[in-house]
C-alpha cells in the first residue's frame, strides 16, 4: 500500500479513538467533572483530529474542528464555563464531528448545512467576532506564504549584507549560528566575517554568554523573504540587520577569523563548565516525579486468525472429549493416573477454550456510547429532556454479539425515549422530574450477559395494547390476558403501539424484529412494566457464538441437539393429552393450551410419519416469533455445551438444521433449527396458541 | 554520520507522517508518545534533534522542553515544536520554555526537513 494511504488509514482509526475519548470526556464534564485533565483530554481529541485532517487536506473537517477547538480552548483557559446548554452544544458538535469524519473517510460530500449551524452557535457562545477573525487567520495557514516565495520566478541576483549578533538566549535555546550560515550558503554564495572584538580574556569568560558577531555577504537569486526565513527561529534572540548591498549599512571593521574553530572551541568548553554551574537544577530534574501511567500494551490481530484459532480449539475440545471417552471405555484397568491426566487435560482444554473466546470478547462500552447519541437525537426530535445512565460498560461480550446488538438496542432506546418517556410538561404535572431517565445496564449473570434497557416513563399502556392487538386480529376480542401476556403482545409480528407512526420509532420495524434478532443471537428478551413508573426490557445473551448450550436428544438412533434458548420445558407426554387434527397433525395439551406436536423424526425424514405419537418425550419450545410448539423425540440424553460447526460450509444447507456438532463419542449431531422445523407446515393454521378455556 | 531525530507526539497519524518524511530525507527516527516517554527515549537514544508536539497527555510539550533544558546533558539539543496555530502566543510560550524553532502543522515534508537542517549541528 502507498505509505500515505496507510497513514490515512491510521488517521481514521485514530479518529475513532479520539471521538470516543471526546464523547467520554464530554459526558464526564456533563456529569460535573471539570478537572483540567478531563477538559484537556477533550481538547486534545479535537485538536488531534484537526491536526491530522490538515495533513490530508480535509478542509471541511479542519475548519469545523477548529471552531470546536476554539470553544473548547476557552473552556480550558477558564474564559467559558460550560452550562447545560453549552454542554449539549458540545455533544451535538461531537456527533457532527463524527459524521464529518465518516464523510471524509468515505469521500462523501458532506452536507455542510448542519455544521454551519453549529459553527454559528459556537460563535454566538464565544462571542462572535473574535472567532471569525481567528478563522480567517487559520484559513491562511494552508498556504505557506514562504514556500510560495521560494517558488517565485527567479529574479536577478541580489546581494545582501547581513549583520548578525546572537544574544545569550539564542544559544540557550540551542540555536546554532553555524547551522544558520550553512542554510544561508544553500541560497547562494556566502561570505562570512566573524567579529571577535568582544571576546573576553579567559578568566572572565562566561561559557554560556554570547561574544561573537558576524558580518555576512550573501549573493543569491532568492528574494529577501527566503533569507529572513532562515532567521525566523532566532528572531528576538539576536541583533539582525538584513539589507540589500546597495544601501550598505556602515559596519565596523571586522577582524577575520575561522568561525568554525571558534565555535568548536566554545562548544567544547561550554558543557564542561555548564556541568558545574547547572549541577543544582540537574539534581532537581532527576528527582522530578516520573509517574508512569499504566498503559495496557495491545496488539492488533486479524480477525481471521482469531477465528481460525477458535475453530482449532473447538476441534481440540471435541478431540479431548473423544479421547477421554475412548480411553475410559477401552482400558480394562481403570488406571488412576490415566484418569487424572485425562481430567487435567479436560481442565486445560476448557481453560484454553475460555481464553481463546476471551480474545473475541469486547466491552459493550462503544455500543453504549453509540446509544447516548441515539438518545440525544431522539430527545431533540421529540423535545424531551432525557438523561442516559449507563452501567457495566466494561462487561465483555463476543464481538459479533456486540455488533449485532447495535440495531435492536438502537430500536429499544428509540422506543424508550419516544414511547416510554412523557413530555417534560406531562412529567412535571405528574410530580416527576422533567428530565426523564433511560438506563442501559450490562452485567454477567450465570454465564450469560444480561442487558437491561429501562425508562422511568409511563409504563406500558396495557388497555391500549390489548385494544390494538384485538383490532389487528392478534387475539380474540374476548380474550382474558394477564398483564405479562399483554406486555408480551408487543413482540408479536405486525404490532405497533403508535397509532400514527412517528418518524422516530416507526421505521418499519417493531419489537418483533428486535426479538427475532435477539433470538438469532441465541438470546432471549423479556419485558416488565409498571404503570406510571416505567418499563424494563431485559436481554439475556450468550457470551459467545462458538459454543451453545443444548439438550442432546435421540430420534430413531440419530442424535440431535436442541438449543436450550428455544426450550421452555419438557412436557409430561400422556396419551390423553394428544389430540388429532386432520390426518397427520397432532396437538398436545399443555396446561389448557393446545400446541402443535411436531414429530421430529418424520419432519426430518428420519422415519415415516407415525399415525400414533404415544411414545417418546415432548419438549415445549418457543420460536422466535413467540409461538410455541412441542417437539416429539424418543429420548433425552444429556444437557451439555457443544461446539458449533457450520453445516453449510462443511456440507450444505439442510432445512430444519441450524448447524452440526461433534459429540464426545465422535458422532456428528445435528443442531435443530426449531424455527424452521415448526414454521412452514403449521403456519397456515397456527398463528398462536388457542386458549382452551374460551374454546370449551 | 546519520542524524537521529526524536519525535514526541501522541497522535499515531502524526508520528507516522513525521517518520515517513524524516526517513525519506535520510534521518534515523526514534519516537515517543508523550513528554514523559520522550524523556526516556531521549536518554536511551541520544538523538541529535527533537521534534515535539505541544498538546499531549501526561506531560505536554512545554513541560517536556523545560525538563530537557534543565538537564545538563541535553540542554543544548535543538528542539522543534509542532504547532497547528501560527498564533504568536503559543510560539512565544514555546520559545520561552526553550524551544529552538517550530514547525506549523500541517507540514510539508520539504519544509520539515528544512527546519530540521536549520537547527541540526
Angle between helices A365-382 and A399-415 (to 10 degrees): 20
A531 and A391 in a single domain? The answer is yes
Instruction: Compute the distance between CA of residue A34 and CA of residue B28 in angstroms, rounded to an integer.
Output: 41
A515 and A373 in a single domain? The answer is yes
- The CATH number covering residue A162 comes to 3.30.70.1110
Give the residue numbers spanning the domain of A335.
Answer: 303-361
A313 and A379 in a single domain? The answer is no
Using an 8 Å CB-CB cutoff, list chain A residues near B20.
3-4, 7
A47 and A154 in a single domain? The answer is no
Residue A431, SS3? coil
Please, are residues A196 and A255 in contact by the beta-carbon 8 Å criterion? Answer: yes
Q: How remote is the C-alpha of A566 from its chain's centroid?
A: 30
**Taking residues A429-437, what's their average pLDDT?**
90
Please, are residues A274 and B75 in contact by the beta-carbon 8 Å criterion? Answer: yes
The shortest CB-CB distance from A10 to any of B16, B69, B101 is to B16
A557 and A537 in a single domain? The answer is no
Contacts 24+ apart (CB under 8 A), A85-92: A86/A125, A87/A26, A87/A29, A87/A30, A88/A376, A89/A118, A89/A121, A89/A122, A89/A125, A90/A26, A90/A29, A91/A23, A91/A26, A91/A27, A91/A30, A91/A376, A92/A118, A92/A376, A92/A380
Domain boundary residue, one of A542, A570, A589: A542
* Binary contact (B78, A174; C-beta < 8 A): yes
Q: Which residue has the higher pLDDT, A578 or B88?
A: A578
Contacts 24+ apart (CB under 8 A), A149-156: A149/A223, A149/A225, A149/A226, A149/A229, A150/A222, A150/A226, A152/A223, A154/A221, A155/A221, A155/A223, A156/A221
Instruction: Compute the distance between CA of residue A196 and CA of residue A203 in angstroms, rounded to an integer.
Output: 16
Q: How confident is the model at residue A127 (pLDDT cuts 50, 70, 90)?
A: low
Q: Is residue A108 domain-resident?
A: yes
A535 and A409 in a single domain? The answer is yes
Whether pLDDT at A130 is above 70: no
Q: What is the pLDDT of residue A285?
A: 42
A121 and A152 in a single domain? The answer is no
* Binary contact (B20, A10; C-beta < 8 A): no
Q: Is residue A292 domain-resident?
A: no
Please, are residues A419 and A498 in contact by the beta-carbon 8 Å criterion? Answer: yes
Of A8-17, A248-257, A565-574, where does the model show the most confidence? A8-17
Whether pLDDT at A321 is above 60: yes
Using an 8 Å CB-CB cutoff, list chain B residues near A271.
72, 76
- pLDDT tens, position by position, B4-62: 999 999 888 889 889 988 998 889 999 999 999 999 899 888 899 999 988 888 888 88
- The CATH number covering residue A448 comes to 3.30.565.10
Residue A360: is it exposed, middle or buried by C-beta count within 10 angstroms (0-12/13-18/19+)? Answer: buried
Residue A35, SS3? coil
Whether pLDDT at A499 is above 60: no
Domain boundary residue, one of A520, A542, A564: A542
A332-336, A348-352, A503-507: the lowest-pLDDT one = A503-507
Nearest partner of A51 among A113, A141, A123, judged by Cα: A141
Q: How many CB pairs under 8 A join A and B?
A: 134
Which phi and psi angles does A270 have, rounded to 5°? Answer: -55, -55
* Residues contacting residue B6 through CB under 8 Å, at least 6 positions apart: B29, B30, B31, B32, B38, B41, B42, B45, B47, B49, B50, B51
Using an 8 Å CB-CB cutoff, list chain A residues near B85.
138
- The CATH number covering residue A685 comes to 2.30.30.40
Q: Is residue A284 domain-resident?
A: no
Other beta carbons less than 10 A from residue A131's beta carbon: 20
In the numeric block, the cell 380474540 is attached to: A476
Nearest partner of B25 among B121, B116, B106, B100, judged by Cα: B116
Q: Are strands A188-195 and A361-363 parallel, antiparallel or unpaired?
A: unpaired
* Binary contact (A292, B14; C-beta < 8 A): no
Q: How remote is the C-alpha of A277 from its chain's centroid?
A: 53
* Binary contact (A285, B121; C-beta < 8 A): no
Please, are residues B83 and B90 in contact by the beta-carbon 8 Å criterion? Answer: yes
How large a percentage of chain A has pLDDT more than 70?
Answer: 80
Whether pLDDT at A102 is above 60: yes
Number of folded domains that form chain A: 5
Using an 8 Å CB-CB cutoff, list chain A residues near B36.
290-292
Instruction: Compute the distance between CA of residue B37 and CA of residue B52 in angstroms, rounded to an integer.
Output: 12
Whether pLDDT at A562 is above 50: yes
Handedness of CA A296, A297, A303, A309 (dihedral sign): negative
Using an 8 Å CB-CB cutoff, list chain A residues near B55.
40, 43-44, 47-48
Q: How confident is the model at residue A332 (pLDDT cuts 50, 70, 90)?
A: low
Give the three cell numbers for residue A569.
Answer: 420445558
Of A18-22, A214-218, A451-455, A463-467, where does the model show the most confidence? A451-455
Using an 8 Å CB-CB cutoff, list chain B residues near A44.
10, 55-57
A455 and A483 in a single domain? The answer is yes
Residue A473 gets which letter from DSSP?
Answer: T
A514 and A591 in a single domain? The answer is no
Q: How confident is the model at residue A262 (pLDDT cuts 50, 70, 90)?
A: low
Angle between helices A113-125 and A129-139 (to 10 degrees): 120
A484 and A504 in a single domain? The answer is yes
Q: What is the pLDDT of residue A578?
A: 82
In the numeric block, the cell 543544582 is attached to: A280
Q: Is residue A283 domain-resident?
A: no
- pLDDT tens, position by position, A655-668: 788 888 888 777 88
A155 and A208 in a single domain? The answer is yes
A525 and A378 in a single domain? The answer is yes
Whether pLDDT at A279 is above 60: no
| Chain mean pLDDT for chain A | 77
Which phi and psi angles does B117 have, rounded to 5°? Answer: -60, -35
Whether pLDDT at A174 is above 50: yes
Residue A217: is it exposed, middle or buried by C-beta count within 10 angstroms (0-12/13-18/19+)? Answer: middle
* Binary contact (A6, B16; C-beta < 8 A): yes
- Is B88 within 8 Å of chain A by CB? no
Q: Is residue A291 domain-resident?
A: no
The shortest CB-CB distance from A51 to any of B14, B95, B119 is to B14
Residue A101: is it exposed, middle or buried by C-beta count within 10 angstroms (0-12/13-18/19+)? Answer: buried
Q: Is residue A290 domain-resident?
A: no
Instruction: Compute the distance between CA of residue A465 and CA of residue A488 in angstroms, rounded to an integer.
Output: 10
Whether pLDDT at A517 is above 60: yes
Residue A635, SS3? strand
For every residue of B43-62, DSSP letters joined together read: HHH--SEEEEESS-SSS-HH
Handedness of CA A130, A136, A142, A147 (dihedral sign): negative
**What residue ranges define each of the domains in chain B, with the CATH number in brackets?**
4-119 (3.40.50.2300)
Q: Is residue A206 domain-resident?
A: yes
Please, are residues B17 and A55 in contact by the beta-carbon 8 Å criterion? Answer: yes
Of A312-326, A394-408, A677-691, where does the model show the most confidence? A394-408
Domain boundary residue, one of A142, A160, A183: A142
Q: Is residue A297 domain-resident?
A: no
Q: What is the pLDDT of residue A500?
A: 42
Amino acid at each position: 500500500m502507498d505509505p500515505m494511504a496507510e497513514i490515512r488509514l491510521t488517521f481514521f482509526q485514530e479518529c475513532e479513538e479520539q471521538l470516543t475519548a471526546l464523547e467520554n470526556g464530554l459526558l464526564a464534564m456533563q456529569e460535573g467533572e471539570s478537572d483540567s485533565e478531563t477538559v484537556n483530554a477533550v481538547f486534545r481529541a479535537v485538536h488531534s483530529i484537526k491536526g491530522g485532517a490538515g495533513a490530508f487536506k480535509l478542509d471541511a473537517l479542519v475548519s469545523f474542528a477548529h471552531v470546536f477547538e476554539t470553544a473548547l480552548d476557552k473552556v480550558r483557559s477558564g474564559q467559558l464555563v460550560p452550562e447545560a446548554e453549552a454542554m449539549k452544544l458540545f455533544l451535538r458538535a461531537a456527533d457532527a464531528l463524527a459524521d464529518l469524519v465518516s464523510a471524509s473517510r468515505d469521500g462523501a460530500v458532506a452536507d455542510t448545512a448542519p455544521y454551519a449551524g453549529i459553527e454559528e452557535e459556537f460563535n454566538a457562545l464565544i462571542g462572535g467576532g473574535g472567532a471569525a477573525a481567528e478563522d480567517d487567520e487559520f484559513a491562511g495557514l494552508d498556504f505557506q506564504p514562504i514556500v510560495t516565495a521560494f517558488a517565485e520566478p527567479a529574479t536577478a541576483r541580489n546581494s545582501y549584507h547581513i549583520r548578525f549578533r546572537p544574544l545569550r538566549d539564542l544559544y540557550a535555546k540551542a540555536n546554532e549560528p553555524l547551522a544558520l550560515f550553512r542554510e544561508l550558503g544553500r541560497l547562494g554564495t556566502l561570505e562570512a566575517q566573524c567579529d571577535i572584538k568582544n571576546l573576553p580574556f579567559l578568566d572572565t569568560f562566561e561559557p554560556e554568554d554570547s561574544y561573537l558577531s558576524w558580518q555576512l555577504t550573501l549573493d543569491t537569486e532568492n528574494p529577501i523573504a527566503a533569507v529572513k526565513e532562515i532567521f525566523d527561529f532566532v528572531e528576538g534572540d539576536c541583533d539582525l540587520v538584513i539589507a540589500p548591498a546597495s544601501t550598505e549599512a556602515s559596519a565596523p571593521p571586522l577582524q577575520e577569523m575561522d568561525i568554525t574553530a571558534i565555535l568548536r572551541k566554545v562548544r567544547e568548553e561550554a558543557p564542561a563548565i555548564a556541568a558545574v554551574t547547572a549541577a543544582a537544577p540537574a539534581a532537581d530534574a532527576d528527582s522530578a516525579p516520573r509517574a508512569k501511567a499504566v498503559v495496557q500494551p495491545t496488539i492488533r490481530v486479524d480477525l481471521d486468525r482469531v477465528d481460525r484459532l477458535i475453530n482449532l480449539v473447538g476441534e481440540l475440545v471435541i478431540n479431548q472429549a473423544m479421547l477421554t471417552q475412548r480411553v475410559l471405555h477401552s482400558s480394562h484397568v481403570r488406571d488412576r493416573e490415566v484418569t487424572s491426566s485425562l481430567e487435567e487435560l479436560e481442565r486445560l482444554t476448557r481453560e484454553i477454550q475460555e481464553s481463546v473466546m476471551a480474545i473475541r470478547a469486547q466491552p459493550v462500552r462503544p455500543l453504549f456510547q453509540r446509544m447516548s447519541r441515539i438518545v440525544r437525537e431522539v430527545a431533540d426530535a421529540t423535545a424531551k429532556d432525557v438523561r442516559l445512565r449507563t452501567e457495566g460498560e466494561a462487561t465483555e461480550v463476543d464481538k459479533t454479539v456486540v455488533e449485532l446488538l447495535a440495531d435492536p438496542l438502537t430500536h429499544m432506546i428509540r422506543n424508550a425515549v419516544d414511547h416510554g418517556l412523557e413530555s417534560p410538561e406531562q412529567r412535571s404535572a405528574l410530580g416527576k422530574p422533567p428530565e426523564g431517565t433511560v438506563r442501559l445496564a450490562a452485567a454477567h449473570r450465570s454465564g450469560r450477559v444480561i442487558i437491561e434497557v429501562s425508562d422511568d416513563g409511563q409504563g406500558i399502556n396495557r388497555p391500549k395494547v390489548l385494544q390494538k392487538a384485538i383490532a389487528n386480529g392478534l387475539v380474540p376480542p374476548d380474550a382474558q390476558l394477564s398483564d405479562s401476556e399483554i406486555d408480551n403482545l408487543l413482540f408479536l409480528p405486525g404490532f405497533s403501539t403508535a397509532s400514527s407512526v412517528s418518524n422516530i420509532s416507526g421505521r418499519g420495524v417493531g419489537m418483533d424484529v428486535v426479538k427475532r434478532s435477539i433470538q438469532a443471537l441465541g438470546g432471549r428478551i423479556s419485558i416488565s412494566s409498571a404503570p406510571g413508573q416505567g418499563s424494563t426490557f431485559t436481554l439475556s445473551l450468550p457470551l459467545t457464538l462458538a459454543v451453545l448450550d443444548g439438550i442432546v436428544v435421540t430420534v430413531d438412533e440419530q442424535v440431535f441437539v436442541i438449543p436450550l434458548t428455544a426450550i421452555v420445558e419438557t412436557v409430561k407426554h400422556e396419551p390423553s393429552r394428544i389430540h388429532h387434527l386432520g390426518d397427520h397433525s397432532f396437538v398436545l395439551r399443555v396446561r389448557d393450551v393446545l400446541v402443535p406436536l411436531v414429530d421430529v423424526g418424520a419432519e426430518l425424514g428420519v422415519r415415516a410419519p407415525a399415525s400414533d405419537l404415544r411414545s417418546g418425550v415432548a419438549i415445549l419450545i418457543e420460536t422466535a416469533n413467540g409461538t410455541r410448539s412441542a417437539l416429539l423425540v424418543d429420548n433425552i440424553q444429556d444437557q451439555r455445551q457443544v461446539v458449533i460447526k457450520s453445516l453449510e460450509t462443511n456440507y450444505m444447507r439442510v432445512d430444519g438444521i441450524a448447524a452440526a456438532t461433534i459429540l464426545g463419542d465422535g458422532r456428528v449431531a445435528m443442531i435443530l433449527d426449531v424455527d424452521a422445523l415448526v414454521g412452514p407446515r403449521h403456519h397456515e393454521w397456527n398463528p398462536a396458541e388457542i386458549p382452551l378455556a374460551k374454546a370449551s | 554520520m546519520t542524524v537521529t531525530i526524536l519525535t514526541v507526539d501522541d497522535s499515531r497519524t502524526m508520528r507516522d507522517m513525521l517518520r515517513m518524511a524524516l526517513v525519506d530525507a535520510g534521518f534515523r527516527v526514534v519516537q515517543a508518545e508523550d513528554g514523559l516517554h520522550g524523556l526516556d527515549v531521549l536518554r536511551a537514544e541520544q538523538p541529535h534533534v527533537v521534534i515535539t508536539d505541544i498538546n499531549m497527555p501526561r506531560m505536554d510539550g512545554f513541560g517536556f522542553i523545560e525538563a530537557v533544558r534543565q538537564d545538563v546533558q541535553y540542554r543544548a539539543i535543538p528542539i522543534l515544536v509542532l504547532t497547528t496555530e501560527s498564533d504568536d502566543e503559543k510560539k512565544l510560550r514555546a520559545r520561552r520554555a526553550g524551544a529552538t524553532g517550530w514547525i506549523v502543522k500541517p507540514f510539508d515534508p520539504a519544509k520539515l526537513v528544512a527546519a530540521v537542517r536549520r537547527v541540526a549541528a
